[in-house]
Amino acid sequence: MSQLLTRNASHDPSRTSWVESANQPGCDFPIQNLPWGRYRLKTANTNDWHLGVAIGDQILDARAADVIDTDDLNAVMALSPQQRLAIRNQLSEGLQTGSAKQAQWQALLTPQADVEMGLPCRIGDYTDFYTGIHHATAVGKLFRPDQPLMPNYQWVPIGYHGRSSSIGVSGSDFKRPQGQTKAPDAAAPSFGPSKRLDYELELGFFMAQGNAQGEPIAIDDAEDHLFGVVLLNDWSARDIQAWEYQPLGPFLAKNFATTISPWVVTNEALAPFRAPFTRPASDPQPLPYLDSANNKAQGQLAISLEVLLQTAQMHAAGLAPVRLSLGRADQAAYWTAAQLIAHHTVNGCNLQPGDLLGSGTLSGELPTEAGSLLEMTQGGKQPITLPNGEQRTFLQDGDTLILRGWCEAEGAARIGLGQVQATVLPA
């Protein structure tokens, strides 16, 4: 079993920090978390980016603290699991209450409110999977009532290669995409802004050490190659997608924007929040290269996921965002992160530090757990009514979409993934 999945003193729920804000109930970034991010002061006029660790409402400059010797997260991702564990333990011990490092490190803190966050690392490649079986079933029913799931779904982790150049960090607003669409009763397609713009609630898995081309990563080794997790919104133009996706899959409907949260919660921080991977006995069981005792025992991630919407009208009126859904990743995903890594490399494909794997839309069984408007509105046929009386089938210009995530378990301190948000701008 990977050392990254074993609890140690850094997970102790009784451990507190000399950074007081990290000890507040409900804080996303207590000392048990310690996620990585890339930041610069809002007042900076240069490309002076730093690599830091979130602690409470502060950021510790990890290089200045002599914990690492780089401001390049890809270099940290490329380290061995043992080295990454040692860095985590050094950070935890230096930030805990009573640490001799307090006097030195206190001067290296920067309030999160004073910084601009960037993408955490260089994302060389991006693959989006389709692990949410309830989402796949619900969407399949809209188009294929007699066969919601294609025959390969329960055997193969389905995925497609996305566009890394259009991935942005939380706060990166984007223009409504334009493209070809075709109405069912039209003789020819038309061109213009998408009228069926949607979000997709996902997790993003960042790769740590990669693999040489031609040398697959075995499933029992896959956890060592997972650096950490972010929230991911895979924006989708459903009308453009419907016209273009046959026979090669999504293209312009997906590659215009993907948004991720700025803080990467490490695999080792998630050790207390593991859940079993199980399949109904009536379903096909994974082929041997996708199966292991460790993956069955703790392959899933018990992460709560929330979607909120604030319309332009709500913003103008000073109204808070309203919740659209709340669910759990481990109750939605049909495949685990380890299985995605093993499958992605089984043909000899070489992954690299900083590569990003999207989970696919993580919807639960209930309507209140839907991870997209396509499901929530039954393909646009059943508009949802917001508390202020506005209705939505798909996203309108000025809408701000927010994803939040956190982990809670008995005998563990609550940790969060922060949030990812972006606003739809006119085409």
Domains, the chain, ranges and CATH?
Answer: 3-118 (2.30.30.230), 126-425 (3.90.850.10)
pLDDT above 80 for 79: yes
Residue with tokens 């989708």: 236
- Cα distance between residue 141 and residue 145, in whole Å: 4
128 among the known binding-site residues? yes
- Per-residue model confidence as pLDDT tens digits over 211-246: 999 999 999 999 999 999 999 999 999 999 999 998
- Per-residue model confidence as pLDDT tens digits over 365-392: 999 999 999 999 999 999 999 999 999 9
Average pLDDT of 386-402?
Answer: 98
223 among the known binding-site residues? no
Residues 6+ apart with CB under 8 A from 121: 38, 72, 73, 74, 77, 206, 264, 353, 354
Average pLDDT of 337-346?
Answer: 98
pLDDT above 90 for 46: no
SS3 224: helix
Average pLDDT of 162-174?
Answer: 97
Alpha carbon distances (Å) from 132 to 143, 202, 325, 376: 17, 9, 15, 15
pLDDT above 80 for 45: no
Token pair listed for 35: 């996620």
Burial of 124: CB neighbours in 10 Å, binned 0-12, 13-18, 19+ = middle
Short-list 364, 395, 414, CA closest to 138: 364
Peptide bond into 247 cis (omega under 30): yes
Token pair listed for 172: 């990166």
Catalytic residue, chosen from 50, 134, 135, 225, is 135
pLDDT above 90 for 44: no
Short-list 324, 316, 303, CA closest to 394: 324
Token pair listed for 148: 């919601």
- Per-residue model confidence as pLDDT tens digits over 86-143: 999 999 999 999 999 999 999 999 999 999 999 999 999 999 999 999 999 999 999 8
Q: Other C-beta atoms within 10 Å of 122: how many?
A: 14
What pLDDT sits at residue 408?
Answer: 98
Residues 6+ apart with CB under 8 A from 107: none
Cβ contact 394:377 at 8 Å: yes
144 among the known binding-site residues? yes
* 389, amino acid identity: G
63 among the known binding-site residues? no
48 among the known binding-site residues? no
- Cα distance between residue 197 and residue 309, in whole Å: 14
Encode 299-348 in three state secondary structure: CEECCEEEEEEECHHHHHCCCCCEEEEEEEHHHCECCCHHHHHHHHHCCC
88 among the known binding-site residues? no
- Cα distance between residue 361 and residue 421, in whole Å: 16
* Chain CA centroid to CA 161, Å: 16
Strands 167-169 and 258-260: parallel
Q: Other C-beta atoms within 10 Å of 68: how many?
A: 21
Alpha carbon distances (Å) from 17 to 12, 35, 95, 377: 12, 15, 6, 45
- Cα distance between residue 323 and residue 342, in whole Å: 35
Half-sphere exposure of 422 (CA within 13 A, CB side): 27
Token pair listed for 332: 């939605």
Radius of gyration, alpha carbons of the chain:
21
Token pair listed for 228: 């950490």
Cβ contact 87:135 at 8 Å: no
Tell me phi and psi for residue 303, to 5 degrees. Answer: -115, 125
Q: What percent of the chain has pLDDT over 70?
A: 100
- Cα distance between residue 136 and residue 148, in whole Å: 7
Average pLDDT of 313-342?
Answer: 98
Burial of 391: CB neighbours in 10 Å, binned 0-12, 13-18, 19+ = exposed
What pLDDT sits at residue 273?
Answer: 98
What pLDDT sits at residue 269?
Answer: 98
Short-list 96, 79, 80, 78, CA closest to 34: 96
234 among the known binding-site residues? yes
- Per-residue model confidence as pLDDT tens digits over 259-307: 999 999 999 999 999 999 999 999 999 999 999 999 999 999 999 999 9
Peptide bond into 276 cis (omega under 30): no
Known active-site residue 161:
no
pLDDT band at 1 (very low <50, low <70, confident <90, very high): confident
- Supply the DSSP string of 235-285, one letter for each residue: -EEHHHHHHH-TTT--STTTTT-EEE-S-BEETTTTGGGEE-----TTSPP
